[in-house]
């Protein structure tokens, strides 16, 4: 990618300090180009700094653009790979017009679609899972999994704006993580064992949601839970934040204004 086509410009602020202005569409193109160049070699090098450097050279990307696209280096390259899969998942689900499905079926379809998208890059996923298992990157892995769960619940039509927003995404994050690990070790034909495992896990999520609903309708349970519910009522869903790939996501810690 030629630096002559770069849309990143620099200007002076009133106090004469230099400020960098980033053109998100241009940085998105830089990210995609480097990621495309990196994917064939992930199987050999993992999500490493050496891989990133070679991919930047192979894509013909200017080093200053690469720094803006991947400020933390290789971890941002792996994150871009994950978010690209999330974006493709949402695009496929929209094209397939899955909105007529039941909530349970929407969630199942979304998780399955997300894993089917990953299938051509199974070794890259394995390398990413190994990286996110390291303590230094565990928080990054948890954040990306949460983003996927948030996208899926939003696609499913979730309107929760209280503590239920958190519990739904927490349980689905656990389902997605466990199903992904099962998928990585699944040698059954067409990953049939994975889809059976996913169905069982989704059943567990739906039972949990039904139990919560039943407790809210039970007079004795409502009385017993009045105190905890009063405390939980102070919790609200967070403010949505923009992330790469043209997506937005709700993350804990971003309070609504």
Here the contacts of 55-60 (C-beta below 8 Å, separation 24 or greater) are 59/1, 59/30, 59/33, 59/34, 60/1, 60/2, 60/33
Q: Which residues of 91-111 are buried (b: 16+ CB within 10 A; e: fewer)?
A: ebbeeeebeebeeeebbbbbb
The DSSP code for 98 is G
249: enclosing H helix or E strand: strand 247-250
Q: Which residues make beta-bridge pairs with 19?
A: 11
Q: What one-character-per-residue DSSP string does 19-32 give?
A: EEE--HHHHHHHHH
Helices in the chain by DSSP H: which ranges?
Answer: 24-45, 49-59, 63-69, 74-95, 103-118, 122-132, 138-155, 163-184, 192-217, 219-224, 226-232
Question: What global pTM score does this model have?
Answer: 0.81
pLDDT digits (tens, 9 = 90+) for 224-256: 655 555 555 666 677 676 777 667 777 675 555
Flag whether pLDDT at 190 surpasses 90: yes
Q: What is the mean pLDDT of the chain?
A: 84
| The residue count for the chain | 257
Domains and CATH numbers, the chain: 21-159+202-250 (1.10.357)
The end-to-end CA distance of the chain, in Å, is 40
pLDDT digits (tens, 9 = 90+) for 21-61: 678 889 999 999 999 999 999 999 999 999 999 999 999 99
Cα atoms in the Cβ-side hemisphere of radius 13 Å centred on 114: 28
Structure confidence at residue 221 (pLDDT) = 57
The residue with tokens 């199942």 is 108
Both tokens assigned to 110: 């979304």
């Amino acid at each position: 990618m030629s630096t002559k086509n770069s849309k990143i410009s620099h200007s002076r602020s009133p106090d004469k300090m230099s400020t960098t202005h980033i053109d998100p569409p241009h940085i998105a193109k830089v990210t995609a180009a480097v990621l495309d160049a990196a994917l064939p070699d992930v199987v050999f090098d993992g999500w490493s700094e050496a891989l990133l450097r070679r991919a930047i050279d192979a894509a013909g990307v200017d080093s200053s653009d690469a720094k803006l696209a991947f400020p933390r280096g290789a971890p941002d390259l792996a994150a871009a790979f994950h978010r690209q899969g999330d974006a493709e998942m949402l695009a496929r689900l929209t094209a397939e017009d899955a909105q007529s499905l039941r909530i349970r079926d929407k969630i199942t379809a979304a998780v399955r679609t997300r894993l089917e998208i990953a299938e051509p890059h199974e070794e890259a996923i394995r390398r990413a899972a190994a990286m996110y298992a390291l303590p230094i990157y565990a928080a990054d892995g948890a954040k990306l999994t949460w983003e996927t769960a948030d996208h899926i619940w939003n696609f499913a039509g979730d309107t929760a704006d209280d503590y239920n927003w958190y519990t739904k995404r927490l349980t689905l994050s656990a389902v997605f993580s466990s199903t992904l690990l099962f998928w990585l070790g699944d040698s059954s034909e067409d990953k049939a064992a994975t889809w059976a495992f996913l169905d069982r896990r989704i059943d567990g999520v739906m039972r949990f949601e039904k139990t919560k609903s039943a407790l809210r309708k039970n007079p004795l349970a409502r009385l017993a839970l009045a105190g905890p519910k009063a405390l939980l009522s102070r919790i609200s869903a967070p403010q949505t934040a923009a992330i790469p790939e043209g997506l937005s996501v709700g993350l804990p810690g971003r309070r609504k204004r």
